[in-house]
Structures are given as structure tokens and as C-alpha cells.
Chain A
Amino acid sequence: MNPYTLITSEPDSMQVYLKKIWRSRSLILTFARRDLKVKYAQTYLGLAWTILQPATGIVLYTFFFGYLLELDSGSVPFVLYVTSGLLAWNFFAYGVFQGTASIQESAQVIKKIYFPKAVLPLSKITVGLVELAISLVLIIPLFFWFGIMPSWRIIFLPVAVLLTALNAMSLVFWISALSYRFRDLIHIVPYVIYFGIWVTPVFYARSLIPEILQPLVWVNPMAASVEFWRWCYFDAYDISPLFSLSVGFNLLLVIIGFWVYTRNETKFTDFA
């Protein structure tokens, strides 16, 4: 049977669009492979950079906040605490930063050939996933060093990864869907990445935040994700019931964001 294409002024429904993404899944992987290849092509250290970058962050944060400022990290040693949060945060930051840039970056292609454009940020998330997997080796020696057994709840780590990926995709959807007209939104991305870490309990414990402001922490969907990561790693780590509310809010944001995105996607090329 021959393929049939119907083009109208109506954007694809979410269902149709999801199907298109599913059919393009190998393209996502191809783009991701391309990015990984290009990223580390002609570098001497290659994939070692994936370890080096978070390692530098861990050393700096531990030195300044753990050693100099002696911030409280609760029941978990500070280095481990920072590492567990930072790896998740880096994955998120990479997804948002690259994901929002990916459509701009591919302006030349998307003006010439049609494919569902969500493939581009999704491929960036895939790259982030590979780098996350590699950088996770950083945390293993730390567990040994402190003689801490990872919690059995570590089996939920894939859920934590998924939550974080959804956090990133949510922002990508919202920003991409609106930034083609309101360019200001592009400038929000560095805010989210450089300042977002301060409102997320990455290098300080949630308990440091005054009681009265505690609920506000959960407004930030990334706070929920980072806490969930730690809950997976550490037996001694408790999570607030507010967490589930935050996750629900996050899912709602992703779904609405995706809907807004599908309504707007086809307009990108007219403005790109």
C-alpha cells in the first residue's frame, strides 16, 4: 500500500504526533549517535569529558559548600549528597539546554524536509542519557568509600531518570512552543540552568530551607526529581508526601506543554 499524506491547516493531534515520534524512533537514535560522534570527534579525552565535567563540579561544590561553608547534608555524607543531586541536575540541564537549542540548530533541515521536530530534543535527551550512564560511575566509588550500601530502592532509578527527562522535555516543549514568536523565552534557558540549581536542593539539604518556605520547594518540579533520586540511592533518605503532588504537577506540565507544542510546531518553519 502506498503511503498517503493529508495536509491541512490543522495541526496533528497528540495521538497522531506520538505515533509519528514512535515511527521516527530510529531517527532519534541516529541523531543521538551523530551528536555523540561529533561532540567527541577530534578530542583527545573523548568520553572522559563526560566524567571530568561533573567530577569538577562535585569537587568545587564539596570544597566550597561542604568544607568551607559546612552546609548540612543530613544523613548522607556531603560528597555523596552533592554527587547524587548533581548528576541528576546535569542530565536535566543538558536536556533543557541542548533540547531548546536543537530546533534552532536544525533550522536549515526543518525548512527543507519534514519530520516530527520533537525528534530533535528527544535525541538530545538520549545523548544526555548516555552521558548520565557514564557519569554514574562516579557515584560507585563514593558508596564504597563511605561504606554505604545503596538502598534496595535503587531499582526505581529508571523512574527517577524518566521523571528528570520529563522535567527537561516539559521545559523544552513550553519554550519551543512559544519562543518561535516570543524570543525572550530563549533567554530564560540560561536562567533555568545557572540559577535553577540554587532553588533545587542539589548542594544543600532541603531541611536548610525555613519551614515556612518548605512547600515552595515542591513547586519546582526538579526538586521533586532530585529528591526522588536520593530516595532511590539512600535508605536513610526520607521524602515528603508533598513529593507526589509535585510529580503530579510535573506530569500535568508535560502533557499541557506537549499539547501546546503540537499546536505550534508547524509554525516554527515560518519564523525560523
Chain B
Amino acid sequence: MSSEVAIRVENVSKRYHMRHPVTTDTEEETHELWALKDVSFEIKKGESVGIIGPNGSGKSTLLKILAGVTKPTSGKVEIFGRVASILDIGAGFHTELSGRENVFLNGQIHGFTKKEIAAKFDAIVEFSGIEKFIDEPVKNYSNGMYLRLAFSIMAHLDFDVYLLDEVLAVGDENFQNKSAECITKWKDEGRTLLIIYHDFNSIKNVINREIDILKFSGHSNISIAKNDSETAEEWDFVWNDNYLDRVCIPTDRLFRRGKITLSSKIILYITAASGSGLAASDIYTLADLEKVEGHFVIKLGFKLAVGRYIFQILQPLVNSHEVLDSCIVHVTQNHGTYFTFGQEVNSVIIV
């Protein structure tokens, strides 16, 4: 892994104007919605980084800004290398055109020349497995064929940086396997990956197959009950340096400092979604580090504003000499939302 920077995000904020006013935490009415506030991080070449966070936390907005689809309200993004924005599988396909024509159309929308696409054409078709139907209009394709062809295009064109929006969530198991393989391949080739996950289930299968999910035998959950309400949040983290080698976290306005040193081995960065209603006084951190069957288990507890979520990120110190062999981060919430990442991801950004 080189130390070259692939993506640099500096103080990026994004404001949306709402048609109808929303009420902020301080009971003010506003038409403004800050989807992102002062987000900064750097991703090095060859890193694969996962972004997790609840709905509305700005994950997609961040990815859209990186893809150039929308402009930040302030801040700066630099990307070194050719960017594949796979925010949607098959975006730009025209159903009346044949598979062959769509391969060229799609490749060109992604900024490739016809020549470059022609050079990869056979490989694209072969990987998609729809040789027989390549001259058939795409509207006659099954959903699976459509997805396979669309993904195959992205899989074969040469990009340096891949921005993926939960692509694994679509398609059947076969397709998911193929795309997981492909993501692993990109990672092995040293490409830079940025993946957002909305839903744990979308990658659960992949993880199950590829790595052993740790058995949480001895851990105790930390529950924090708010005096005024119901929420008992559970946060369990098991960390592994192998896959998540660097974790950074954008901080929102409430946590500008954004960095709390918890122990000599762990740096915890904290963030919260803009508008998530977290006040500094609302949060306290419980953290301790213990070794369970050769794995670190980090336990954290957060008190949350009612109905809102906070996500946090961990960074093992570079000088940590403990090498672990798998990583799972579990975030369990009262709604049953459950996020896990591992394998393809080597660092995590939580927005």
C-alpha cells in the first residue's frame, strides 16, 4: 500500500434547501438542512474504506459529491485517478438499445473512449454471461441479465478509484457473489475503494462466507438508559487491524475537535450526523479494552438523543503491535438496525 493520497476531502459541507421548514434541535424553524458539515478525511491509494451510518446521515451526499454529481456548499475535494461512480447499477442504460450498444453508451458516459471500450468488450460480455443476447434490446433482458451486464462494464473498465453505493444489495446470490469477487479483486489490485452501506444485510452474506464472524462469547453489552425515556443502546465493537487499517471520521459541528484519546492503543473519533440532535453534554463515553480469545473487544456506550443515532469510529494506533485476524463492528440499536463490515473494507468512515 502506497502512501499516496487517492482522495482528500477538506472541510466539505453540504446544505440543502428544504421546501418546507424543519425544526432544529433548538426549536428554530429553518429551510436549511446540513447534510454534511465540515467533513475532512484522506484516503490513501489502495485503501478500501467503508462508510456506514443511518439514513439521512449524509453518506450518499458524500458519495455524490465525490462522484461530482452534486457540488459541496463549501470545502474541497481532490481525487487522484480515474473515478468510477457506481452509485447505481445500470444508470444510463437505455432499454430500447441492445446490450452491445449499451456497453458502449455506458462506457462513454463513464468517460471512456470507444476504442478503450472495444478493447474490453469481449471480456465484458464473457463475464456477464449473456453472449447469446448481446444484440437483443435490453428491455427484453431479465433483471439478472441486466444487472450482470451493467456490473460487468464497471468490472472491466480501468478505474483507479471506485465509489460504490451498496451495489451488493441488488441481484440474486449469484450476482452478489460475482460482485463481491470483483470488489475483492479491485482491492487486491490496489485500487482505492469507497463503499457505503445502508444496511448490514446487504453485506452479511459476503462476510459470512468470507470470514468467520467472531463469536461474542464473553462480552457484556453496555446499556445506557436515558432517564427520560426508553432508549437502551448497545454498542459492541470487535476490532481487527487487518481489514480496518485506518479509520477516520468526519466530525460535525457538535464535535469539531472530533478526537478523543481513549487509551494508548485506540483513538476514538466521534461523529454524529448533522441534525442528529446530539449535544456535547448528551454524550459520554465508556470504553475499555479487553482481550477475549485473542481478539480485542472494545466496548463503548453512548447516550443518544431520543430517536437519533450516533455512529462512531475507531482507529487502532499504527504502533499497535497486536495483529488480529478478523474484524467485525456491530452496532445494535433499539430499532434492530445492525451494521457490520469486514473483509473488503480496510477502514471506515462514519458520517
Is the CB of B83 closer than 8 A to any CB of chain A? yes
Q: Contact between A3 and B81 (Cβ–Cβ < 8 Å)?
A: yes
Whether A5 contacts B69 in the complex (CB less than 8 A), given A112-B91, A114-B85, comes out as no
How far is A9 from B77 in the complex, measured between Cα atoms in Å? 10
Instruction: State which of B67, B72, B97, B160 has its C-beta within 8 Å of the C-beta of A113.
Output: B67
How far is A38 from B102 in the complex, measured between Cα atoms in Å? 12
Q: Contact between B96 and A37 (Cβ–Cβ < 8 Å)?
A: yes
Q: Which of B120-150 contact A (CB under 8 A)?
A: none
In the complex, what residues of A have CB within 8 A of residue B338's CB?
Answer: none
Is the CB of A41 closer than 8 A to any CB of chain B? yes
Is the CB of B21 closer than 8 A to any CB of chain A? no
Shortest C-beta distance, B319 to chain A (Å), equals 31
Shortest C-beta distance, A39 to chain B (Å), equals 9
Instruction: State which of B69, B71, B76, B82 has its C-beta within 8 Å of the C-beta of A110.
Output: B69
Interface size class of A (residues with CB under 8 A): 20 to 34
How far is A109 from B108 in the complex, measured between Cα atoms in Å? 13
Q: Contact between A37 and B109 (Cβ–Cβ < 8 Å)?
A: no
Instruction: State which of A3, A27, A111, A270 has its C-beta within 8 Å of the C-beta of B109.
Output: A27
In the complex, what residues of B have CB within 8 A of residue A109's CB?
Answer: 91-92, 109
In the complex, what residues of B have CB within 8 A of residue A56's CB?
Answer: none
Shortest C-beta distance, A127 to chain B (Å), equals 14
How far is A4 from B6 in the complex, measured between Cα atoms in Å? 10
Closest to A27 in B: B108
In the complex, what residues of A have CB within 8 A of residue B104's CB?
Answer: 30
Closest to B107 in A: A30
Q: Contact between B94 and A38 (Cβ–Cβ < 8 Å)?
A: yes
In the complex, what residues of B have CB within 8 A of residue A151's CB?
Answer: none
Is the CB of A179 closer than 8 A to any CB of chain B? no
In the complex, what residues of B have CB within 8 A of residue A37's CB?
Answer: 96-97, 101
Closest to B16 in A: A270
Q: Contact between B109 and A38 (Cβ–Cβ < 8 Å)?
A: no
Instruction: State which of B68, B80, B82, B92 has its C-beta within 8 Å of the C-beta of A7.
Output: B68
How far is A98 from B85 in the complex, measured between Cα atoms in Å? 27
Q: Contact between A38 and B96 (Cβ–Cβ < 8 Å)?
A: yes
In the complex, what residues of A have CB within 8 A of residue B73's CB?
Answer: 9
Closest to A7 in B: B77
In the complex, what residues of B have CB within 8 A of residue A112's CB?
Answer: 67, 69, 85, 87-88, 91-92
Is the CB of B70 closer than 8 A to any CB of chain A? yes
In the complex, what residues of A have CB within 8 A of residue B97's CB?
Answer: 34, 37-38
Shortest C-beta distance, B116 to chain A (Å), equals 11
In the complex, what residues of B have CB within 8 A of residue A31's CB?
Answer: 105
Is the CB of B278 closer than 8 A to any CB of chain A? no
Q: Contact between B92 and A113 (Cβ–Cβ < 8 Å)?
A: yes
How far is A32 from B5 in the complex, measured between Cα atoms in Å? 38
How far is A196 from B193 in the complex, measured between Cα atoms in Å? 52
In the complex, what residues of A have CB within 8 A of residue B114's CB?
Answer: 26
Closest to A30 in B: B108
How far is A117 from B85 in the complex, measured between Cα atoms in Å? 16
Shortest C-beta distance, A138 to chain B (Å), equals 28
Shortest C-beta distance, A52 to chain B (Å), equals 22
Closest to A112 in B: B91
In the complex, what residues of A have CB within 8 A of residue B56's CB?
Answer: none
In the complex, what residues of B have CB within 8 A of residue A34's CB?
Answer: 94, 97, 101, 105
Q: Contact between B108 and A11 (Cβ–Cβ < 8 Å)?
A: no
In the complex, what residues of A have CB within 8 A of residue B64's CB?
Answer: 111, 269
Is the CB of A108 closer than 8 A to any CB of chain B? yes
Is the CB of A2 closer than 8 A to any CB of chain B? yes
Please report B residues at the A interface, Cβ cutoff 8 Å: 16, 64-83, 85, 87-88, 91-92, 94, 96-97, 101, 104-105, 108-111, 113-114, 160
- Provide a sorted-by-A list of 14 A–B residue pairs whose CB atoms are within 8 angstroms: A2-B82, A6-B78, A7-B65, A8-B72, A8-B76, A11-B71, A30-B104, A34-B101, A111-B91, A112-B69, A112-B91, A114-B68, A269-B70, A270-B16
Excluding A6-B76, A115-B109, 4 further A-B contacts by CB distance (< 8 Å) are A5-B77, A5-B80, A34-B97, A266-B71
